[in-house]
Amino acid sequence: MLGNIQDETVLAAAILHDTIEDTDTTEQELTTLFGQEITSIVKEVTDDKTLPKLERKAKQIEKAPKMSRQACLIKLADKISNIEDVISNPVVGWDLDRRRVYRTWATSVVSRLTEKPKALIAHFDNLIIKAEGELV
């Protein structure tokens, strides 16, 4: 397993990380089902969908250095997964320019995280190098 993350709280929050953002599930429902600690981590990595997209992206960069260790791990894993998709399975309609912009933005977020296990950051860096080669 890449990164060797075995903390059950982090793993549960990672699975749920987009729940509040992308479903009708409320924070209270998440807390009732999974507890305050997991919900708190999920909230850390949740974008405020009431904000315009560019502002949400800027907030991710701004919030990155203030995140808990657990949230940093989830954010890094999410960016790894997203960059893998940008390279190998891009969203329909994402041209090369949009994929390049995403790569640059994701690198900005990851560079500001305070918790970056060596194996995960090495994998991310290798993906960025691969993306640079493929997104020309």
Active-site residue list = 21-22
Give the whole-angstrom CA distance, residue 24 versus residue 28: 11
Return the beta strands (E) in 1-125 as ranges. Answer: none
Q: Which residue matches tokens 């949230």?
A: 71
Q: How many Å separate Cα 44 from the centre of its chain?
A: 11
Q: Residues 6 or more apart from 105 whose CB is under 8 A from it?
A: 57, 61
